[in-house]
Structure 1
Amino acid sequence: MTWKRIILFVGVLACLSIGWYLVSPLFINQVVNEEVIPLSTATSKEEPSDSPSDQEVLTEQEPEVMTAVFQGADSLHNVSGTLLYYKETEKPYLRFEDFESTNGPDLYVYLVKQGQDTKDGLSIGELKGNIGNQNYPLPEGVTLEDGDSIVIWCKQFDVDFGFATVEKGE
């Protein structure tokens, strides 16, 4: 009789644990507030037209920035905020500003090319939090192009929560 109670207790405990894992993200938020990564602006040398050729003037060039607005995948999976893509020669990265997402288990940030399924995209990493400003460095050699999407994806259930499609900034 005691073995049946032990098995029943373990079964109930397992069900409660699984239930907590699946349901808790719906009402527990993970807030992140990372600072902007300082940009090392590129400089170029220009020769002024009315000075000797041995003098040079350094001018700062603004880094290329692509922007997009996050939108939810459907009525149950909502994502909002702004995506900024800083393309620098040293360390390109993504920044989510005023970001907010429906929480869920196993959420990841994926780079998805046009016409590609999310699961076939490139994982940028696990979502740091469902609320707040966040930075995601891109792997070496990876760049974003017009029409690429950054997708918030639940890997466990193969569900898109939302996306932002980048466009070249002005």
Structure 2
Amino acid sequence: MKIYLISFCLVWALFSCQKEVIRQNDFTSNLTDSSGKFNSTGQNLLLQGNFENAQHSTSGVVKVYEDKDKKRTLILENFITDAGPDLRIYLAEDKSVTNFIQLTDKVQNGNISLEIPSNADLHKQNHVLIWCRKYSVLFGFAQLK
């Protein structure tokens, strides 16, 4: 009986650790002009950064645009990360999730556009984090400069 219980636990652990596949988002971002400062809708490029790996493979480019009404948008281009059980995208002061704002609880690979709340202070909250809330794990990050 003991051998069956151990075998069951090993098989269960093996299958529970399989990687999920994150769906590809079909959003197509607006291309920047030749100067790289404005996209096709006339929004001004404020900040940008590149994703880096933390505990999981994460890649892509992140940009912050502002329109004439001071509405800010976070754009993730060619974004790829591993799947996780409870992934979120945060703006935070650092990689330790200090003073963060959650932008979304739906993380997909591909090109993503997210509205930045007006109370976000991008001078302080200049890290974009891919965070697994369930296990408190940083998948990847980008620093906005």
Same fold (TM over 0.5): yes
Answer yes or no: is 1:84 the counterpart of 2:77.
no
Q: Judge conservation of contact 1:145–1:166 (CA < 8 Å) in 2.
A: no
The equivalent residue for 1:34 is 27
- Please give the TM-score of this superposition, normalised by the length of structure 2: 0.72
Number of residue pairs matched? 126
What's the CA shift string for 1:125-166, capped at 9, x where partnerless?
A: 11331x200111111232422771000000000000000000
- 1:125 and 1:79, CA in 2 relative to 1: closer, same or farther beyond 3 A? same
Structure 1 segments unaligned to the other structure (5+ residues): 1-11, 42-61
Q: Point out the structure with max Rg over C-alpha.
A: 1
- 1:123 and 1:81, CA in 2 relative to 1: closer, same or farther beyond 3 A? same
The equivalent residue for 1:132 is 110
Give RMSD over aligned pairs. 2.8
Cα distance between partner residues in 2 of 1:142 and 1:40? 22
Cα distance between partner residues in 1 of 2:22 and 2:119? 33
Q: Which runs of 4+ in 1 moved over 3 A?
A: 37-41
Cα distance between partner residues in 2 of 1:66 and 1:146? 13
The equivalent residue for 1:150 is 128
- Please give the TM-score of this superposition, normalised by the length of structure 1: 0.63
- Which amino acid counterpart does residue 126 of structure 2 have in structure 1? D
Partner SS, residue 120 of structure 2: coil
Cα distance between partner residues in 1 of 2:58 and 2:73? 20
Cα distance between partner residues in 2 of 1:99 and 1:111? 16
Answer yes or no: is 1:163 the counterpart of 2:144.
no
Structure 2 segments unaligned to the other structure (5+ residues): 1-7, 31-38
- Which amino acid counterpart does residue 30 of structure 1 have in structure 2? R
- 1:147 and 1:120, CA in 2 relative to 1: closer, same or farther beyond 3 A? closer
Cα distance between partner residues in 1 of 2:98 and 2:85? 16
- 1:146 and 1:40, CA in 2 relative to 1: closer, same or farther beyond 3 A? farther
Mapping of residues 1-170 of structure 1, within 5 Å? 23=17, 26-36=19-29, 40-41=41-42, 63-74=44-55, 77-88=56-67, 89-114=69-94, 117-118=96-97, 120-129=99-108, 131-145=109-123, 148-167=126-145
Q: Which has the higher helix share?
A: 1
